[in-house]
Amino acid sequence: MLKSVSRAVQLAARLSTSVPPAASVRPALRLSSAFTRSIWSLSHSGPASGSRPRLLTATRALPTVSCGCGSLHTEGDKAFAEFLTDEIKEEKKIQKNKSLPQMSGGWELELNGTEAKLIRSLSGEKVTITFNVNSSIPPQLEEDPEHTQKSPEDEPEIVSTPNFVVEVTKPGAKSSLVFDCHFPEDESAHGEGEEESDIFAIREVSFQPEGDVEWKETSYTLNTDSLDWALYDHLMDFLADRGVDNTFVDELTELSTALEHQEYIKFLEDLSTFVKCK
């Protein structure tokens, strides 16, 4: 009963304020150590801090060098390549997971670049979770330029909180029940003695053809912003009975964070190769 009342209060909060799709770092998350992204930190400092090195200026001459690859090379390219080499070393040094963490509960992981699928069979039903780590890092709030200089220990954790889709398929059913889920921006920690709230929310529910990549707009879609709280409560319980609960979402976030960092390092390596023309 207390959980139902708690979710009713959460639903009322969503009705009064629109929830943007961008997710935020949740206090409920417990990661053993933070990692920072120095390229992000440099760009985040802003022009007021004066900390970002200016490799090129409008008045500076750009000498070119030719090589066997037939591409343009400049002094700026050389400085850029040296910077990327150092950056890749630093990112690998602070990489928390050299391999992707395992999900508990018998979930099988399938990867396709930045997209991940978690698949589980339960008493004849098939549950598929799909998410993409692109654009999954929440934007950081701007701070006073006088307080932008921080030690590495004080840097905010970079946590990937992607939107994710839950697809439940029953044997013999013509369509799958699909849930579009996200991390609410207004999620906050509860005090001692208070019941734990849901750290994720359902945005939309619809029946869709099994395995379809694109959301079929001709199928009726139930938006939870105007949904009766009791029905929403049952939908959340439906997901929890199939293993999609706070514990699962915490593990999903750790997996997503590790995958995003892995793809980021790979991007830097590809960028370095491209700039060096190897």
Span 248-266, pLDDT tens digits: 999 999 999 999 999 999 9
CA dihedral 181, 182, 188, 192 (to 10 degrees): 30
Sign, Cα dihedral of 174, 118, 240, 225:
negative
pLDDT score, position 62: 53
Q: What is the average pLDDT across 229-257?
A: 97
What letter represents residue 122's amino acid? L
pLDDT over 80 (residue 94): yes
pLDDT score, position 138: 87
Find where tokens 């200016």 sit.
Answer: 54
The alpha carbon of 100 is separated from its chain's Cα centroid by a whole number of angstroms, namely: 15
Lowest average pLDDT, out of 25-29, 50-54, 171-175, 244-248, goes to: 25-29
pLDDT score, position 47: 41
- Going by C-alpha positions, the residue among 83, 94, 85, 95 that lies closest to residue 42 is 83
Indicate the helix (H) or strand (E) that contains 264: helix 246-276
pLDDT over 60 (residue 22): no
pLDDT over 60 (residue 123): yes
* Average pLDDT along the chain: 78
Q: What is the average pLDDT across 67-77?
A: 81
Neighbours of 198 (CB within 10 A): 19
Lowest average pLDDT, out of 64-73, 89-98, 141-150, 178-187, goes to: 141-150
pLDDT score, position 98: 86
Contact 249, 199 (CB under 8 A): yes
**Cα(111)–Cα(46) distance, rounded to whole angstroms?**
35
